[in-house]
Amino acid sequence: MNKIIVFDTTLRDGEQSPGASLDIKEKVQIARQLKLLNVDIIEAGFPIASEGDFEAVKAISKTIKGVTIAALARAVEADIKRAAEALAEANKSRIHIFLATSEIHRNFKLGKAKKEIIKMAVKSIKFAKGFTDNIEFSPEDATRTEYEFLAEVVEAVIDAGATTVNIPDTVGFTVPEQYGELITSLKSNVRNIDKAVISVHCHNDLGLATANSLAAIKAGAKQVECTVNGIGERAGNAAMEEIVMALKTRIEYFNMDSNINTKEITATSKLVSGLTGLRVQRNKAIVGGNAFSHQSGVHQDGIIKERSTYEVMNPENIGLQSTSLVLGKLSGRNAFKERINKLGYELTKIELDHAFKQFKLLADKKKDIFDEDLEALVQDEKIEVPHIFELECHNISCGPVPTAGVRVRIGKDKIVENASTGDGPIDALFKAIDLSTGISAKLIDYNIRGITGGKDALGEINIEVEANNKIIKGKAVSTDITEGSGKAYLNAINKIAANLNIKIG
């Protein structure tokens, strides 16, 4: 199997993301993780850019062994010398030289003719060869450079000693078919192309960085430059994790794999996100919070029956423990039942039907459903209480005179509506329920406990009432305290009705 060389530029191009500046200690920490990830090359920085960048490249070169450490330099001797100094303690090093070649860059940025560009490129490579034989050259803005001139530059730098030639899509301008054609054209028209590795470096301005990189690999590129989480200048770079997992998942198509230890992908993503402060969007491919989460009932049912119905990768392969079935208003009965069973509960069909109905009502009110919420629903369901009376809806007014109105279903078909005032809203609610059921009880104790956190937290309401010289307990859970209070009171009333052997047709 062919292996693509993974050139990670998280610490150089990735750090160019606004707000992503890293100190030396943080850079070394990420470099250690990149080694665990088993990348082939770590581009540690741009030494001439600042003293901090120089020291970071130097520290990584000294600390991280067994991985090639690269440093960036413009095609000028001062840059190349500074890069070589920073890389002095690396056991494997690379100097990466770049020089713009597109017409727009030649005219507006450099003010140089084509012959001058080639002369500068060749001279810089020959100078770099005094420090290392591992030299990469990047014709900046290659995808907007005239094909004939680009081929001329590539041939000249290889003759000068470049061992890797990178073809960067610096501004994210190209599209996959065009980029693939460019790589094919270079392979066909550059006389000495077989003496160097073709590399690709794509930016994501049009959202095509990963697609372009894969098209280039398919066309014959042997090295891909990328960053963890796709961070980088402007819209970012091609995301390492997307390219690596695309190659692995579609290996029969690309006939190409990498040396990446994919089980370190999640850990690496989290480390880079945490240290740079750049959060990963939830719907980000591979490492986003939703990448292996399923909420649709249809999808959940398919995943339960056979994972491959809705997943093309195993979450374990990137370092996640398992797929997440997110319970919400779109979830189906099968996913609900499986989660309940995993929590250690077994419900009868009737109990499951009623608990699922209550779950759906809760999911309409509550954004996040936690296991504690489900346990509260199930525990409430397992209390064997006849549902003679059910609270359909209620209305509370907390004005000068607290008032409550309720609609109570009795049995299957009968609906009763009543209203009452009270000393407070809960007292008024209980009195309205008394009027609707024809059963009254004296409140002895009333307690509310928050089950989960957040403003939409599920609350557990426990009450004790006295009726017929007996203490009866009632319990309910709800995100609405008044609704939960009414249901807890009705829970107790239903027990009283059962003790009195009240039956509704």
**pLDDT tens, residue by residue, 365-403:** 766 666 667 766 776 655 555 678 989 999 999 888 999
pLDDT confidence of residue 473: 81
Task: Quote the CA–CA distance of 471 and 465 in Å, as a whole number.
Answer: 6
pLDDT confidence of residue 289: 73
Question: What Å distances lie between residue 441 and 47, 437, 472, 496, CA to CA?
Answer: 80, 11, 9, 9
pLDDT confidence of residue 364: 77
% of the chain residues with pLDDT over 70: 89
CATH label of the domain that carries residue 475: 3.30.160.270
Q: Do 307 and 352 belong together in one domain?
A: yes
CATH label of the domain that carries residue 46: 3.20.20.70
Within a domain: 285: no
- Which domain-ending residue is among 323, 346, 381? 381
Q: What is the pLDDT of residues 93-124, one digit of tens each?
A: 999 999 999 999 999 999 999 999 999 999 99
Within a domain: 447: yes
Q: What is the pLDDT of residues 244-276, one digit of tens each?
A: 999 999 999 999 999 999 999 999 999 999 889
Q: Is the pLDDT of residue 168 over 70?
A: yes
Q: What is the pLDDT of residues 19-33, one digit of tens each?
A: 788 999 999 999 999
- Which domain-ending residue is among 242, 276, 310? 276
Within a domain: 408: yes
Q: Do 172 and 255 belong together in one domain?
A: yes
The predicted model gives 155-184 an average pLDDT of 98
Task: Quote the CA–CA distance of 90 and 495 in Å, as a whole number.
Answer: 77
Q: Do 349 and 424 belong together in one domain?
A: no
pLDDT confidence of residue 263: 93
pLDDT confidence of residue 187: 97
Tokens representing residue 19 in the block: 């707000």
Among candidates 307, 359, 308, 372, which has minimal Cα distance to 333?
359
SS (H, E, C) 141-192: CHHHCCHHHHHHHHHHHHHHCCCEEEEEECCCCCCHHHHHHHHHHHHHHCCC
Let me know if 70 is exposed, middle or buried by CB neighbors in 10 A (0-12, 13-18, 19+). buried
**Least confident interval from 123-132, 279-288, 468-477:** 468-477
Q: Do 347 and 203 belong together in one domain?
A: no
Q: Do 74 and 47 belong together in one domain?
A: yes
**Least confident interval from 20-34, 125-139, 153-167:** 20-34
Let me know if 49 is exposed, middle or buried by CB neighbors in 10 A (0-12, 13-18, 19+). middle
Within a domain: 286: no
Q: Do 335 and 194 belong together in one domain?
A: no
The model's confidence at residue 304, banded by pLDDT at 50, 70 and 90, is low
Mean pLDDT over each residue of the chain, to the nearest integer: 89
The model's confidence at residue 229, banded by pLDDT at 50, 70 and 90, is very high
pLDDT confidence of residue 375: 67
Q: Is the pLDDT of residue 325 over 60?
A: no
More confident: 404 or 385: 404
Within a domain: 28: yes
Q: Which residues of 444-472 are buried (b: 16+ CB within 10 A; e: fewer)?
A: eebeeeeebeeeeebbbbbbbbebeeeeb
pLDDT confidence of residue 19: 76
Q: Do 420 and 475 belong together in one domain?
A: yes
Q: Is the pLDDT of residue 470 over 90?
A: no
Q: Do 252 and 354 belong together in one domain?
A: no
pLDDT confidence of residue 305: 76
pLDDT confidence of residue 368: 64
The predicted model gives 65-85 an average pLDDT of 98
Within a domain: 187: yes
How many independent structural domains does the chain possess?
Answer: 3
Q: Do 251 and 299 belong together in one domain?
A: no
Domain that holds residue 219: 2-276
What's the pTM value of the predicted model, to 2 decimals?
0.70
The model's confidence at residue 348, banded by pLDDT at 50, 70 and 90, is confident
The predicted model gives 286-294 an average pLDDT of 75
Q: Do 360 and 221 belong together in one domain?
A: no
More confident: 475 or 455: 475
Q: Do 357 and 413 belong together in one domain?
A: no
Q: Is the pLDDT of residue 455 over 80?
A: no
Q: Do 258 and 302 belong together in one domain?
A: no
Within a domain: 504: no
Within a domain: 44: yes
Q: Are strands 389-397 and 403-410 parallel, antiparallel or unpaired?
A: antiparallel
- Which domain-ending residue is among 276, 306, 341? 276
pLDDT confidence of residue 355: 81
Task: Quote the CA–CA distance of 277 and 281 in Å, as a whole number.
Answer: 12
pLDDT confidence of residue 342: 72
